[in-house]
Structure 1
Protein backbone atom coordinates (compact mmCIF):
# COMPACT_ATOMS: atom_id res chain seq x y z
CA UNK A 1 0.00 0.00 0.00
CA UNK A 2 1.14 3.55 -0.71
CA UNK A 3 0.59 5.87 2.25
CA UNK A 4 0.60 9.64 1.74
CA UNK A 5 2.07 11.14 4.90
CA UNK A 6 0.78 14.64 4.12
CA UNK A 7 -2.88 13.68 3.68
CA UNK A 8 -2.57 10.70 6.06
CA UNK A 9 -4.37 8.43 3.63
CA UNK A 10 -3.70 5.52 1.30
CA UNK A 11 -3.22 6.54 -2.32
CA UNK A 12 -2.68 3.24 -4.12
CA UNK A 13 -0.70 0.03 -3.99
CA UNK A 14 2.35 -1.58 -5.54
CA UNK A 15 2.42 -5.39 -5.76
CA UNK A 16 5.42 -7.23 -4.34
CA UNK A 17 6.28 -10.90 -3.75
CA UNK A 18 4.88 -13.38 -1.29
CA UNK A 19 5.24 -12.49 2.42
CA UNK A 20 7.18 -9.19 2.25
CA UNK A 21 9.05 -8.96 5.55
CA UNK A 22 11.84 -6.38 5.23
CA UNK A 23 12.42 -3.15 3.31
CA UNK A 24 15.39 -0.93 2.59
CA UNK A 25 15.38 2.53 1.00
CA UNK A 26 18.39 3.66 -1.05
CA UNK A 27 20.45 6.61 0.16
CA UNK A 28 19.01 8.89 -2.54
CA UNK A 29 15.40 7.84 -1.72
CA UNK A 30 14.88 6.64 -5.31
CA UNK A 31 14.77 2.85 -4.86
CA UNK A 32 13.02 0.67 -2.31
CA UNK A 33 14.03 -2.97 -1.92
CA UNK A 34 11.53 -5.43 -0.45
CA UNK A 35 12.64 -8.89 0.70
CA UNK A 36 9.93 -11.49 0.06
CA UNK A 37 10.36 -14.45 2.40
CA UNK A 38 8.10 -17.13 0.95
CA UNK A 39 9.38 -16.99 -2.63
CA UNK A 40 13.00 -15.97 -1.88
CA UNK A 41 12.84 -12.90 -4.11
CA UNK A 42 13.48 -9.16 -3.90
CA UNK A 43 11.07 -6.59 -5.31
CA UNK A 44 12.72 -3.37 -6.52
CA UNK A 45 10.48 -0.31 -6.52
CA UNK A 46 11.19 2.94 -8.36
CA UNK A 47 9.73 5.27 -5.73
CA UNK A 48 9.44 8.33 -8.01
CA UNK A 49 7.64 6.56 -10.84
CA UNK A 50 5.83 3.92 -8.74
CA UNK A 51 7.06 1.07 -10.94
CA UNK A 52 8.40 -2.27 -9.70
CA UNK A 53 10.39 -5.32 -10.71
CA UNK A 54 10.65 -8.67 -8.99
CA UNK A 55 14.02 -10.47 -8.99
Structure 2
Protein backbone atom coordinates (compact mmCIF):
# COMPACT_ATOMS: atom_id res chain seq x y z
CA UNK A 1 0.00 0.00 0.00
CA UNK A 2 1.42 3.37 -0.98
CA UNK A 3 1.80 6.17 1.53
CA UNK A 4 -0.92 8.24 -0.17
CA UNK A 5 -3.44 5.39 -0.19
CA UNK A 6 -2.65 4.54 3.44
CA UNK A 7 -3.21 8.17 4.42
CA UNK A 8 -6.50 8.22 2.49
CA UNK A 9 -7.66 5.09 4.31
CA UNK A 10 -6.82 6.64 7.69
CA UNK A 11 -8.71 9.81 6.72
CA UNK A 12 -11.73 7.74 5.71
CA UNK A 13 -11.71 5.86 9.02
CA UNK A 14 -11.30 9.16 10.90
CA UNK A 15 -14.36 10.57 9.13
CA UNK A 16 -16.36 7.41 9.84
CA UNK A 17 -15.60 7.65 13.55
CA UNK A 18 -16.45 11.36 13.56
CA UNK A 19 -19.87 10.52 12.12
CA UNK A 20 -20.35 7.79 14.75
CA UNK A 21 -19.55 10.32 17.48
CA UNK A 22 -22.04 12.82 16.01
CA UNK A 23 -24.73 10.13 15.89
CA UNK A 24 -24.04 9.08 19.48
CA UNK A 25 -24.31 12.67 20.69
CA UNK A 26 -27.62 13.08 18.85
CA UNK A 27 -29.21 10.40 21.03
CA UNK A 28 -30.08 11.34 24.61
CA UNK A 29 -29.15 7.88 25.90
CA UNK A 30 -25.67 7.55 24.39
CA UNK A 31 -23.10 5.50 26.29
CA UNK A 32 -20.36 7.68 27.81
CA UNK A 33 -17.85 4.83 27.76
CA UNK A 34 -18.53 4.10 24.09
CA UNK A 35 -18.20 7.78 23.27
CA UNK A 36 -14.84 7.95 25.07
CA UNK A 37 -13.67 4.85 23.18
CA UNK A 38 -14.65 6.41 19.85
CA UNK A 39 -12.85 9.64 20.71
CA UNK A 40 -9.68 7.73 21.64
CA UNK A 41 -9.80 5.83 18.32
CA UNK A 42 -10.31 9.09 16.43
CA UNK A 43 -7.34 10.69 18.19
CA UNK A 44 -5.14 7.65 17.51
CA UNK A 45 -5.99 7.86 13.81
CA UNK A 46 -5.20 11.57 13.80
CA UNK A 47 -1.82 10.85 15.41
CA UNK A 48 -1.08 8.21 12.74
CA UNK A 49 -1.99 10.65 9.97
CA UNK A 50 0.27 13.34 11.44
CA UNK A 51 3.19 10.91 11.61
CA UNK A 52 2.74 10.13 7.93
CA UNK A 53 2.48 13.80 6.94
CA UNK A 54 5.49 15.09 8.88
CA UNK A 55 8.87 13.87 7.69
CA UNK A 56 11.07 12.60 10.47
CA UNK A 57 14.35 14.35 11.20
CA UNK A 58 17.48 12.37 11.99
TM-score range, shorter chain: under 0.3
Higher helix share: 2
**Which protein, 1 or 2, shows the higher relative CO under an 8 Å CA cutoff with sep ≥ 6?**
2
Higher strand share: 1
> Which one has a bigger Cα radius of gyration?
2
TM-score, with normalisation over the residues of structure 1? 0.27
